[in-house]
Amino acid sequence: MAATASPKKPFRWHILVFLAPAVLVYTAIMILPLAGTLQLSLFRNIERSQTFVGLQNFRTLFGDPNWSAGFWNALRNNVWFFIVHMLVQNPIGILLAALLSSPRLRFSTFYRTAIFVPTVLSFVVVGFAWKLILSPLWGVAPNLLDLIGLKSLFTPWLGKEAYALTTLALISVWQFVGIPMMLIYAALLSIPDEVIEAAECDGVTGWSQFWKIKLPLILPAIGIISVLTFVGNFNAFDLIYSAQGALAGPNYSTDILGTFLYRAFFGFQLQVGNPNMGAAIATMMFLIILAGVCIYLFLIQTRLRRYQF
Amino acid sequence: MKTKLFTALLLGSSVLGAAGTAHAQDVTLNIESWRNDDLAIWQEKLIPAFEAKNPGIKVVFSPSAPTEYDAALGAKLQAGSAGDLITCRPFDKSLDLYNKKNLADLTTLPGMENFSDVAKAAWTTDDGKANFCVPMASVIHGFIYNKDAFDKLGIKVPQTRDEFFAALDKIKADGTYVPMAMGTKDLWEAATMGYQNIGPNYWKGEEGRLALIKGEQKLTDADWVAPYAELAKWKPYLGDGFEAQTYPDSQNLFTLGRAAIYPSGSWEISVFNTQAQFKMGAFPPPVEKAGDTCYISDHNDIGMGLNAASKNADAAKKFLTWVASPEFATIYANALPGFFSLNSSPVKMEDPLAQEFVSWREKCKPTIRSTYQILSRGTPNLENETWVESANVINGTDTPEAAAKKLQDGLDAWYKPAK
């Protein structure tokens, strides 16, 4: 087509050449495994050979109460995990960014680094460290509470069905609060001084300046953070696994999609792994994340107003 | 000076290089295992003993974490990167590997005649025709106690359940020690050291276990619910915040001398001997009335098999024959007191605690863990569910009856006993 429309122009090979590395790498490490997973979820091991069974695995996943109860439980827990992040991590991140960008704050670089450091720590370190901090036997949490006379408030949080998941979500918030803080901090810094000065001329200062001028300008950044949090939370696995083990106790109360997938795919102790059911769960996770991201892209992002300076 | 150093370096590297080529003809065998606690014993005692007699064969023991072993091994076998020798879990896990042709048939391996059929049972096909792992050891469940604490409080070793709970009450009233070191966070303690430990006395060991497999008994029968009722009574005797107490926490609590009784198994002996500063004793699960027949869980725990895809099968078979020999049994049982040899030739053990455990074999009837053979083949997995429900019962979030019903319902969902 291009050749006939403008016969003099040679085929633009450089476009292909420059795109090729990224396309090849992305295909090899992302698209092929994804397609492989989708394919695996349509097969089943019958008489020691992989047989195509259509959507049977999904029918088992949703129709067999032994599987579906586990799946809905994991999904419910995952949604709660996400809600805690949205309600705690993002407001704290915005607050910290607002404080950091205040010109009167001293040592702001130190605070910024200190708050961001946990983000680069390994999950295993974070899980293990918090398990120790909260340990009823050797942890610092019971002792510290005792010092201020609040020992009665301490319970074995990671061992109680009612608290374990929320505790883990808050640990994860502690670890990752640096990311929304940094992104929003950058967005706040990019607001031109002229806008702020104009607001001050109109008598909009302090918190009302934050709510009326700055917040609308950083909304796109908050949107991006929400999507990142959503994807991160629905792919989460490491923290639960390192703190609670693959059975996500007590009584599956901290089981999220990642740990549910792990047990199904690889098996656990006497349970033999079932890669096909595992792939079916992975496919569901992919669809859930895809749906979430699409909702954001098509319903929310298109309505966000952008300002050009 | 500089040139000298440089020459020395060159010389050194050439010597090392030469040494490297000399060893290149050696066969190196890799052992896959979940027993990372045993690394030192393999490296310092077992492997040197084998290598001294078999020049040209090098053995490397490369364990992974116990909870990750099965998943990691499965992935490695599929990728073809698994070691030559595979430490075998008992029953279905290994049977599955054999059926997938990951484990080689060892029925005719020289040395297999050193084991009884019962010892080989955990690594035999359902029809009893093929063996695929050399039995290494079994573990015995029971209670380890702090002798100093018992002496101080004037408590005698409990024989019956009433005495057992009276002892716990006394320790609790005294307040110096946590009566029992156990947590429910890791779940498996509740099932393995709790339910499977005290259970055989209720369901009469093999009799109940086999009846369960045949479908003649159900988990909701009185004999199977009763151990849960007893577990529920343990709650007040556990440490503060036991819900978040992990397995290593419990071990430390006991070895630091802060707890009096540790529901456990013989596999702890070697670790405890090096860590505990006080005298320890052990007693089997208490029976209802003095003089009742006692039942203990003497569980086939470890075997070793040959990776069917191994490129060094001949050398690996040589090693396995050695594993089946009385020499290995003696070194192993003494280096790892608490892992009792399954070899038919009697093994002399030095450790008093290990002798105490193994002496129960004479007065009690042995059985294996009820969930291991056949019953954990489906989904939901009975063993995993037993972990979760045992912890729930001790936490008080499920009644014994509700827990038993959940387990039986889960089992009924897929298990149809052969008529």
SS3 category, B241: coil
Give the pLDDT score at B379: 82
Facing A250 at nearest CB: one of B67, B239, B395:
B395
Q: Where are the beta strands (DSSP E) in chain A?
A: 43-46, 49-52, 267-268, 271-272
- Say how far apart CA A127 and CA A131 lie, in whole Å: 6
Cβ-based contacts of B245 with chain A (< 8 Å):
135-137, 156, 159
Closest partner residue to B187 among A155, A247, A270, by Cβ? A247
**Whether residue B1 has pLDDT greater than 70:** no
CA-based nearest residue to B87, from B109, B72, B100, B108: B72
Are B342 and B135 in contact by the 8 Å Cβ rule? The answer is yes
DSSP state of B383: H
Contact A267/B at CB under 8 A: yes
**B245 contacts A139 by C-beta, under 8 angstroms:** no
Q: Is the pLDDT of residue B6 over 80?
A: no
Interatomic CA distance for residues B44 and B207, integer angstroms: 42
Looking up tokens 């490296």 gives B43
Determine, for residues A252 and B245 on separate chains, whether the beta-carbon distance falls below 8 Å.
no
pLDDT, tens digit, for every residue of B168-180?
A: 999 999 989 999 9
Q: Which amino acid is at B272?
A: F
| Contact status of A155 with chain B (Cβ, < 8 Å) | yes
Closest CA to B397 of B216, B235, B251: B235
The CA-based angle A147-A148-A151, given to 5 degrees, is 75
- pTM of this prediction? 0.81
Percent of chain B whose pLDDT exceeds 90: 50
CA B390 to chain centre: 18
Is A80 an 8 Å CB contact of chain B?
A: no
Q: Which residues of B touch A137 (CB under 8 A)?
A: 239-241, 245, 249, 252-253
Phi/psi region, residue B130 (left: phi>0; alpha: psi -120 to 50; beta: rest), is: beta
SS3 B243: helix
Quick one: pLDDT at residue A309?
A: 61
Residue A198 C-alpha, separation from nearest chain B C-alpha, in angstroms: 56
Q: What is the pLDDT of residue B241?
A: 87
**3-class secondary structure per residue, A163-181:** HHHHHHHHHHHHHHCHHHH
Fold of B139-298+365-412: D-Maltodextrin-Binding Protein; domain 2 (3.40.190)
**Which pLDDT score, from 0 to 100, does residue B22 have?**
43
Closest to B325 (Cα-Cα) out of B136, B71, B63: B136
A136 touches chain B (CB under 8 A): yes
Here the ipTM equals: 0.82
At B187, phi and psi to the nearest 5?
65, -45
DSSP string of A235-293, one letter each residue: T--HHHHHHHTTTTSSTTTT--HHHHHHHHHHEETTEEP-HHHHHHHHHHHHHHHHHHH
Beta carbons of A77 and A85 less than 8 angstroms apart:
no
Helix axes A65-84, A161-176, angle to 10 degrees: 50
Per-residue pLDDT at A6: 56
- Would you call B187 helix, strand, or coil by DSSP? coil
Distance CA A80, CA B157 (A): 49
Q: Does A273 touch chain B (CB under 8 A)?
A: yes
Which residues 6+ apart lie within 8 Å of A56 measured at CB?
A44
Tokens standing for residue A292: 């979430």
Query: Average pLDDT for residues B121-137, to the nearest whole number?
Result: 87
Task: Tell me the CA distances in angstroms from B253 to A137, B198, B270, one per residue in order.
Answer: 8, 22, 16
CB pairs under 8 A between A and B: 128
Q: Which of A64, A252, A271, A274 to mutate to test binding with chain B, by most B CBs within 10 Å of its CB?
A: A271
Tens digit of pLDDT for each residue in B233-273?
999 999 888 999 989 889 999 999 999 999 988 888 888 88
Mean pLDDT lowest for which of A179-193, B370-384, B402-416?
A: B370-384
B299 Cα to chain A: minimum distance (Å): 15
Closest CA to B297 of B188, B203, B177: B203
Chain centre distance of CA B17: 42
Residue B295: what residue type?
Answer: Y
Judged by a CB distance cut-off of 8 A, whether residue B247 touches chain A is: no
pLDDT digits (tens, 9 = 90+) for B20-57: 444 446 889 999 999 888 888 899 999 999 999 999 89
Helix, coil or strand: residue B85: strand
pLDDT tens string B224-235? 999 999 999 999
Q: Where are the domains of chain B?
A: 2-136+300-350, 139-298+365-412
pLDDT of A11 reads 86
Write b or e for each residue in A287-299: b if 16 or more Cβ atoms lie within 10 A of its Cβ, otherwise e: ebbeebeeebeee
Residue B323's pLDDT is what?
A: 92
d(CA A230, CA A14): 37
H or E element at residue B358: helix B352-363
Indicate yes or no: CB of B246 within 8 angstroms of CB of A131. Answer: yes
pLDDT at A5: 54
Is the minimum CB–CB distance between B70 and chain A shorter than 8 Å?
A: yes
Give one word for B157, left, alpha or beta, with left for phi > 0 and alpha for psi -120 to 50: beta
User: Which residues, 6 or more positions from B178, have their beta carbon under 8 angstroms from its beta carbon?
Assistant: B237, B238, B239, B240, B253, B258, B259, B260
- Collect all residues of chain B within an 8 Å Cβ-Cβ radius of residue A270: 89, 91-93, 371-372, 376, 381-384
Nearest to A250 among B184, B372, B383 (CB): B184
> How far, in Å, are A25, A189, B180, B228 from residue B168 at the CA level?
64, 65, 8, 18
Token pair, residue A135, equals: 């340990």
Class of A56-120+157-303 per CATH? mainly alpha
Provide the phi-psi class of B257: left if phi over 0, else alpha when psi is between -120 and 50, else beta.
left
Structure confidence at residue B419 as a pLDDT band (50, 70, 90): low
pLDDT of residue A287: 95
Q: Is A131 an interface residue toward B (CB < 8 Å)?
A: yes
Cα separation, B32 vs B61, whole angstroms: 7
Domains B2-136+300-350 and B139-298+365-412 share a fold: yes
Put simply, the answer to whether A272 touches B93 (Cβ < 8 Å) is yes
Residue bearing tokens 């295992």: B33
B93 φ, ψ to 5°? -55, -50
The number of helices, as runs of H, and strands, as runs of E, in chain B is 19, 10
Q: pLDDT tens digits, chain A, 309 residues: what are they? A: 444 555 677 888 889 999 999 999 999 999 999 999 999 999 998 877 888 998 999 999 999 888 999 999 999 999 999 999 999 999 999 999 988 888 788 888 899 999 999 999 888 899 889 988 998 888 888 888 888 888 788 888 888 999 999 999 999 999 999 999 999 999 998 888 888 899 989 988 888 888 888 888 888 899 989 999 999 999 999 999 999 988 888 889 999 999 999 999 988 877 878 889 999 999 999 999 999 999 998 888 887 776 666
At residue A7, the pLDDT reads 65
Hey, is the C-beta of B101 within 8 angstroms of any chain A C-beta?
A: no
The residue of chain A nearest to residue B375, with distances taken between CA atoms, is A270
Instruction: Give yes or no for residue B398 having a pLDDT over 50.
Output: yes
Q: Which two tokens stand for residue B186?
A: 């890791």
Q: Nearest CA to B72 among B54, B53, B93, B56?
A: B93
Q: What is the CATH number of domain B2-136+300-350?
A: 3.40.190.10
Angle at B36 between CA B179 and CA B314, to 5 degrees: 140
**Is A247 within 8 Å of chain B by CB?**
yes
Query: What is the domain partition of chain A in residue ranges?
Result: 56-120+157-303
Pairing of strands A271-272, A267-268: antiparallel
pLDDT in tens, B65-115: 887 888 889 889 988 899 999 999 888 888 889 988 999 999 999 989 888
Q: Report pLDDT for B153.
A: 93
Nearest residue of B to residue A246, measured between CA atoms: B67
CA B56 to chain CA centroid, Å, is 32
